[in-house]
Structure 1
């Protein structure tokens, strides 16, 4: 099993984190998308789903046996306390799955494993990481991207931005940071430079 460098990749929504993750993959890194991991937990982890049903109502699971993620989100984000409960229930299961994904990529011999996680610090996933890389971008650019990506209006996009931490929350806890509004070629060069610096 190789001595991989685990890099936590985080930042606010719309900053360009997915673009950086894509560049890292092109540069030969393994990439774990924690959003995808979380979705898989809601499908495959029955104990987690049972806990969610107890907390948010049995009807969050439809007749097809699948979690109605829209209904769950509406109930979970109705209050900060409910959102906290969602995280308390799901994060331990997500972290368990994440650990298995990291071990699988490490066994394959990847020098770098990227953990792409918007809630890297909040979930505790940063504990798995050797280095942290933050991606930020000016709010007007993030706003435009969120509206285009999620096909929502400006008001809803702004509410998502305001629900997240300020840039300093991410950069202050990171070993390096990239600006997501950088020219793609320059961004790739910067990412490659960071990897070279962090290579074991």
Structure 2
């Protein structure tokens, strides 16, 4: 099974691409959805969050008060790291379980929709990285329109993230969302064709004979680590930075 990582920057259109893929029956494992599920009432992650931050970060119904927790972690990097140390592992376990379920169903492809695919290092664990791109200026304009925010506030949010140009450096496929919805749909259709071609017939062997699938996955991890190390080495040479 081909595991593909989908990412992008804020307001580049990643969610739209994810929706288009889902409409075309491509299995999507959405990290944002999982991030909410793993902190639902009664979950181990929410219990750990409550133990650390106190019961005042809960709503009357026992659910997480995201606004109240956000006011704490965004003002304190140490607290933010603590929250991430609780939530991120839970999300990763849920994502892994989602991949396993896709494999059991015999899916040829599944897509991990992860906003922080690059920043979190998860790009190393997928066979294909897809980045949804638009120019920084267009990204800024879309963010201002979407959130009805000032240019200053929108710029501050963009500056707090990894620049989209740097994410593109990790991409196997770049989807340029600078044009119309029709253009975007054409690129998504092309991506689906590429993914199924990349999966090929070998996915059947990996599904029927699990050890071969595991060997293939291990090879992907090694190949990505070597390829990225080479890229980093080239960038660090004098005259190429």
- Larger relative contact order (CA 8 Å, sep ≥ 6): 1
Distance 2:8 2:47 in 1: 31
Is residue 181 of structure 1 aligned with residue 173 of structure 2? Answer: no
Q: Provide closer, same or farther for how the CA distance between residues 140 and 168 of structure 1 changes in structure 2, counting only shifts above 3 A.
A: closer
TM-score by length of 1: 0.87
| Structure ID, larger Rg | 2
1:82 to 55, 79, 82: 79
Q: Which residue of 2 aligns with 1:121?
A: 118
Structure 1: gaps (5+ residues): none
SS of equivalent to 2:29: strand
TM-score by length of 2: 0.73
Q: Which residue of 2 aligns with 1:150?
A: 147
Shift of 1:33: 1.7
Q: Which residue of 1 aligns with 2:63?
A: 66
Q: Kindly report the root-mean-square deviation, in angstroms, between the aligned alpha carbons of the 2 structures.
A: 2.1
Structure 2: gaps (5+ residues): 200-241
Number of aligned positions between the proteins: 197
Instruction: Show CA shifts across 1:26-60 (max 9, x none).
Output: 33311122111101111156321122223333311
Distance 1:133 1:146 in 2: 21
1:197 to 191, 194, 197: 194
Q: Provide closer, same or farther for how the CA distance between residues 120 and 184 of structure 1 changes in structure 2, counting only shifts above 3 A.
A: same
Q: Is the 1:29–1:111 contact (alpha carbons within 8 Å) kept by the matching residues of 2?
A: no
Q: Which residue of 2 aligns with 1:94?
A: 91
